[in-house]
Amino acid sequence: MSLVTTKDLMLDAQKNHYAIGAFNAENMEMVQAIIAAAEELRAPVIVQTTPGTLKYASPAMFHAMVAAAASEASVPVVMHLDHGSSYELAMQAFRAGYTSVMIDGSHHVFEENIEITKSVVRACHAAGIPVEAELGKVGGKEDDLDGGNGNGYTVPSEAAEFAERTGVDSLAVAIGTAHGVYKGTPKLDMERLSEIRKVVSVPLVLHGTSGVPDDAVRECVARGMCKVNYATDLRIAFSKGLKEYLAKDPEVFDPKKYSAVGREYVKEYVKSKILVCGSNGKA
């Protein structure tokens, strides 16, 4: 089917207490793996690209790959810009055909974050494209995104004001997760999440989930998270498949052979996280 937006998918997830898995893709094989996993489990799915990925290949190229794969699938597939770092990049993705856009103004002060978010909302809503924003700072480093130490937890009252004034469709909040590889087990502020859920009506998004224990993710979903992002662990899975194949056959020169193993590893990882999110069977 054609690419869809996150709007109805996220609202259904919010109503029925599950989350949509959102998975970052770096190449064709990862796109194939993500959508194949969703197809097998009959789950709606979000394919994402970061600003760093879009320096490697253009928004138009990634959109074309995801749109082609989605056209052969029978489950809803969204093409999403993850951590849009500027108005200009958000508009590039929008014009390329992305069906969901994130503008991350969390590194700005509150009022500046509101203004840049509102500008993206105005442009995207005119064409029916939903917008995700972030309030608070999810720490760590992933790609060329540096979230610092991650101590900027989202304040519930500010989250309510931010969502109301910007008109965003979903909001990523900081409750203790971080991007990249964790050095220990993250401790999430679940009570803060519950307080945010009480005062914010739009769907909430969990970033920095690679490495977070599955039980913690399930609790976040139970407390109101409607979209859960995974990135680093997909890269690890793909690279693991390649390394294992090359270790067994170092003379191989056909990239299709070792890339197919990486693709299978990513597919199995994505399937496991779809089950954690509870979106299986929701397509």
Over residues 48-59, the pLDDT tens digits come to 999 999 999 999
Instruction: Check whether 128 has a pLDDT greater than 50.
Output: yes
Instruction: Check whether 186 has a pLDDT greater than 90.
Output: no
Superfamily of domain 7-277: Aldolase class I (3.20.20.70)
Residues ≥6 apart with Cβ < 8 Å to 191:
none
* pLDDT score at 147: 46
How much is the pTM?
0.93
Residue 69, marked binder: no
- HSE-CB of 31 using CA atoms within 13 angstroms: 23
Residue 180, marked binder: yes
Residue 63, marked binder: no
Boundaries of every domain in the chain: 7-277
Residue 5, marked binder: no
Spatial distance between the Cα atoms of 23 and 31, rounded to a whole number of angstroms: 9
Higher pLDDT, 59 or 152: 59
Instruction: Check whether 164 has a pLDDT greater than 70.
Output: yes
Residue 113, marked binder: no
Say what percent of the chain tops pLDDT 70.
Answer: 92
16-59 confidence digits (pLDDT tens): 999 999 999 999 999 999 999 999 999 999 999 999 999 999 99
Residue from 82, 143, 169, 233 carrying the catalytic annotation: 82
> Mean of the per-residue pLDDT values for the chain?
93
* pLDDT score at 136: 87
Q: How confident is the model at residue 146 (pLDDT cuts 50, 70, 90)?
A: very low
62-77 confidence digits (pLDDT tens): 999 999 999 999 999 9
223-261 confidence digits (pLDDT tens): 999 999 999 999 999 999 999 999 999 999 999 999 999
Catalytic annotation present for 214: no
Residue 93, marked binder: no
What tokens were used for 117? Answer: 């978010």
Instruction: Check whether 145 has a pLDDT greater than 60.
Output: no
Q: What is the largest CA-CA distance in the chain?
A: 59
